[in-house]
Chains A and B, each alone.
Chain A
Amino acid sequence: MKRGWNKKAAELLLENVIFFILVILFFVAMFYFVNRASTQASIAEQINAKQIALVIDKAKPGTEIIMDVSELYEIAKENDFEGHLVIIDNNNKKVVVNLASGKGYSYDFFNGAGIVWNLKDKKLYLEVVSNE
């Protein structure tokens, strides 16, 4: 009688333990998925390329801008990427943001002024220079 009761209790305990492990596994998997999706390189590339292009378009000659791009360094580190994170192509009037090897996002700007730029200390320094 005592043995039977112990067996039942053990079964119940085992069932509950398995149930809890399954629930925890499920929520960990969901958290991992959402977290990974939110730090995806392609989204950050797109948002930052557009943001930089819009800033350049709004700027008038003589404007100096400092943008915090530390987030880009973190994402690039997660992707083991050590190349150029931001490229501003003055000839083709394009901003290219690349946070993973072989990939990148390109966005055009229409500001005809020259853009002097530099990436330093996780900051993007921009200076709009008149062509005249």
Chain B
Amino acid sequence: MNKLNKKADSRLLSPWLFFVFAIIGVSIVIGVWIFYAIETDIRFAEARTLSNRLISTISENGYLKEGVLGESFDILEKAELTNKSFVRGGNFYFNVIVYDGGVVDGGVVGEEVVLRNFWGGETDFETQCRLIGKPLAKCVYDEFIVLNKTDPNQYFKIKILAGSNQLGKKI
């Protein structure tokens, strides 16, 4: 009786063994496939880089750079950003708003008056940035205060939105 059971066990071993092998093999294949199928997503890093470029273009050592409020100030040129990337339907977007913050020690904080508004790229990112989802743009918001170089008592509030939705492509 014992002998018979042992034979039955060994006969059953082979199919079970292959079944277990198959499960392990398929699990490894699926795991590796999932791991490498994930796209390396650098959209957030790109948005951060773009924002940093814009910050250093309009401000320096806590002061607003000269000429920023002038009508002839071309932010794309000053930040060395290519015009080709910042078009409607493109993969990038930025919006820089310079507000008049008022006077520091006078205690007078007026309404947020927009002094300059720079933008470029796909404006739909303004909406996409407020939503969550893989196909939507990744964005970075920055808000800070800078002083007026000629009048340190006056300050400006700056809001920056920078976004990227570039996923790259295989040729």
A105-B168, A108-B166 known; A50 vs B80 contact (CB < 8 Å): no
Residues of chain A lying within 8 A (CB to CB) of residue B79: 112
Q: Is the CB of A30 within 8 A of B40?
A: no
A103-B170, A105-B170 known; A37 vs B36 contact (CB < 8 Å): yes
Q: Is the CB of A57 within 8 A of B32?
A: no
* Surface stretch bound by B, among A38-46, A69-77, A78-86, A118-126: A38-46
Q: Is the CB of B81 within 8 A of A111?
A: yes
> B150-171, CB under 8 A of A: which get 1 and which 0?
0000000000000000101111
Size category of the A interface is: 35 or more
* Interface of B, helix, strand, loop or mixed by DSSP: helix
Residues of chain A lying within 8 A (CB to CB) of residue B50: 57, 110
B39 at the binding interface (Cβ < 8 Å):
yes
Q: Is the CB of A40 within 8 A of B36?
A: yes
Q: How far is the CA of A115 from the CA of B30 in the complex (A)?
A: 41
Residue among A19, A49, A57 with most chain B CB within 10 A:
A57
Residues of chain A lying within 8 A (CB to CB) of residue B77: 112
B32: contacting residue among A34, A50, A61, CB under 8 A: A34
> A24-68, CB under 8 A of B: which get 1 and which 0?
001001100110011010110111011001100110110000000
Q: Is the CB of A107 within 8 A of B81?
A: no
Contact residues of A between 89 and 132, Cβ < 8 Å to B: 92-93, 96, 98, 103-113, 130-131
Q: Which residue of B lies closest to A104 (CB)?
A: B171
* Residues of B bordering A, CB below 8 Å: 10, 17, 21, 24-25, 28-29, 32-33, 36, 39-40, 42, 45-46, 49-50, 52-53, 76-77, 79-86, 91-92, 166, 168-171
A/B interface sample: 10 pairs, CB < 8 A: A30-B24, A33-B28, A37-B33, A46-B39, A50-B40, A92-B84, A107-B166, A108-B91, A108-B168, A110-B81
